[in-house]
Amino acid sequence: MAEMMLRNLIPDIDVSSAGLSVQEGGAASRYAVEALARCYDIRGEWDGPQQITYKKMCDSDLILTMTKGHKLVLDRAWSEFNEKVFVLKEYVYNADECGADFDVDDPFCGGADTYEKCASEIYKAIMKLVQRLNEEY
């Protein structure tokens, strides 16, 4: 969802999404697609899940994870990229804004309401990310 939100907000940016353990070739979650369309009027082609790879890590300027656990896995697997791997909410918020919990709850196996709640959480962080990127670049 974060990928599609960012593509929608900054169309000329090269952005992709990849997971740590995915079944490639599958479709995007129906609930994720519906939440984006219903709540944010975001429609379009979505490649579906892709596995993170060394090449994707090399080719990326910035890598944002949804949880501290995801960041830790990437840091351990490819420590040479530590300087460009961040937890999304940790990258855009300070502790006063977000408290101690920088993780985005995974909606996997949840229903439409779970995906909409997750989409809202991600969208708020993506809006802060867009602001930060506009200031830095």
Superfamily of domain 2-136: Response regulator (3.40.50.2300)
Q: In this predicted structure, what is the pLDDT of residue 33?
A: 93
Strands 85-87 and 63-65: parallel
How do residues 75-105 score in pLDDT, each as one tens digit? 999 999 999 999 999 999 987 777 778 999 8
Query: Does the pLDDT of residue 23 top 90, yes or no?
Result: no
Q: In this predicted structure, what is the pLDDT of residue 101?
A: 82
How do residues 42-84 score in pLDDT, each as one tens digit? 998 777 778 999 999 999 999 999 999 999 999 999 999 999 9
Domain boundaries, the chain: 2-136
DSSP 37-80: HHHH---S------B--HHHHHH-S-EEESSHHHHHHHHHH-GG
Query: Does the pLDDT of residue 112 top 80, yes or no?
Result: yes
